[in-house]
Amino acid sequence: MLIDLTGKTAIVTGAGRGIGRVIARTLAAEGVTVALLDIRNDLLDEARAEWAKAGHKGLFVKADVRDKASVTAAVAEIHKGLGRIDILVNNAGVAAGARIEALDEAVWDDNFDTNTKGTFLVAQAVAPIMKAQKSGRIINAASFAIIIPSIGSAAYAASKAAVVSFTRVLAGELGPFNVTVNCYSPGMIPTEMNGYAAMPEARQNRLLDTLTLRRWGEPGDVAKLICFLASDLSAYITGAMIDVSGGKFATQIPAVAYE
């Protein structure tokens, strides 16, 4: 049994760097024409150069997922350029935070505007296209923070918890149109968002001790899940949240198994 995504089209938001870039790259390597959407032109320029070198087809679109006009224009441009939209990966996200007394209202708003409203706005723009096609896959980035949140992550965890409920409602609304909607929760994947790899060793070990598979996640671990969720093999999975965290806290103290 093979995953076959050849000839499909996708939008990946926040595809300029980090996990999003690897998701876009992995889909492209599987024969998908990917529209990479990001708020930063410099990252899109880097991606464009990478795509040209690899010989991948793609579109590079600057847009701010927090802004409805920007999202509407971007999705219209992508639809015109690609002809159809088979897959939407709502990956763009931010994660700033602080403990409650120090948590700025602006930081709270940015978490909700990017992670929650951004997911809503892009899905809202793409939904009519997928409904008309009578097929589609919407895949939203949640986070392990929706399972067990961290101290200082109130805005981020709450904004991502909302993504899970949003995913389920959208799955219900789009089910009759053969559009599946799922979300996934990465655990700890070193990127510029979190700086795990730059932490002192003792701190890294404390975090790694929470994992059943005692290693940092890799963006490719998420990208492989996305390929499955985007494919025909996942046709009967919708409204689901999939934990891709290496079994974080699958048991109370996973490190015991390593002693």
Ligand X SMILES: NC(=O)c1ccc[n+]([C@@H]2O[C@H](COP(=O)([O-])OP(=O)(O)OC[C@H]3O[C@@H](n4cnc5c(N)ncnc54)[C@H](O)[C@@H]3O)[C@@H](O)[C@H]2O)c1
Which stretches of the chain bind ligand X, using CB under 6 A?
13-14, 16-20, 38-40, 43, 64-66, 91-95, 114, 118, 141, 143-144, 186, 188-189, 191-194
Active-site residue 184, yes or no? no
DSSP state of 66: T
Report how far residue 178's alpha carbon sits from residue 97's, in angstroms, rounded to the nearest whole number: 37
Of 145, 39, 148, the C-alpha closest to 97 is: 145
Cβ distance to ligand X smaller for residue 5 or 144: 144
Cβ distance to ligand X smaller for residue 40 or 134: 40
Helix axis angle, 18-29 relative to 219-230, nearest 10°?
A: 50
Three-state secondary structure call for residue 135: coil
CB-based burial of residue 218 (10 Å sphere; 0-12 exposed, 13-18 middle, 19+ buried)? middle
Which residues touch 130 (CB under 8 Å, ≥6 apart)? 85, 88, 136, 138, 174, 177, 179
Give the helix, strand, coil percentages of the chain, each rounded to 5.
Answer: 50, 15, 35
Of 218, 219, 210, the C-alpha closest to 247 is: 210
CB of 14 to ligand X, least distance (A): 3
CB of 227 to ligand X, least distance (A): 16
Report how far residue 85's alpha carbon sits from residue 137's, in angstroms, rounded to the nearest whole number: 9
CB of 212 to ligand X, least distance (A): 16
**Joined tokens for residue 127:** 């939904």
The residues that are catalytic are 156
